[in-house]
Amino acid sequence: QKEVEQNSGPLSVPEGAIASLNCTYSDRGSQSFFWYRQYSGKSPELIMSIYSNGDKEDGRFTAQLNKASQYVSLLIRDSQPSDSATYLCAVMDSNYQLIWGAGTKLIIKP
């Protein structure tokens, strides 16, 4: 059973600090990794994708991938209250099927 694991949280971070969200996956053949943000009552929206080891930055967001350790993380710098949401990690496995984590609820405290 291929799995993607995330800490369900809630993760509480002060405004202006760095929020760090982590995700581990079981299928070593996975090649594509995604972070989605889902506000309460809304549908998920793609915020980052990463395919190779290392860091990928987009504005305040940085995705980090370590295939040897089978983890992917998302850093949010200068966290804002509007970043409060559930963050879903999704991994495309070796069969090109998207496997989802259960999500981490992030709360940014003003």
Q: What is the CA radius of gyration of the chain?
A: 13
Residue closer to another protein, measured from CB, 31 or 78:
31
Q: What is the three-class DSSP state of 77? A: coil
Among 12, 14, 57, 98, binds another protein (CB under 8 A): 98
Residue closer to another protein, measured from CB, 42 or 109:
42
**CB-based burial label for 67 (10 Å; 0-12, 13-18, 19+):** middle
Residue 94 in the binding site for another protein (CB under 8 A): no
Residue closer to another protein, measured from CB, 26 or 49:
49
First to last CA, the chain: 40
Report the distance separating Cα 57 and Cα 60, nearest Å: 8
Residue 42 in the binding site for another protein (CB under 8 A): yes
Residue 44 in the binding site for another protein (CB under 8 A): yes
Residue 26 in the binding site for another protein (CB under 8 A): no
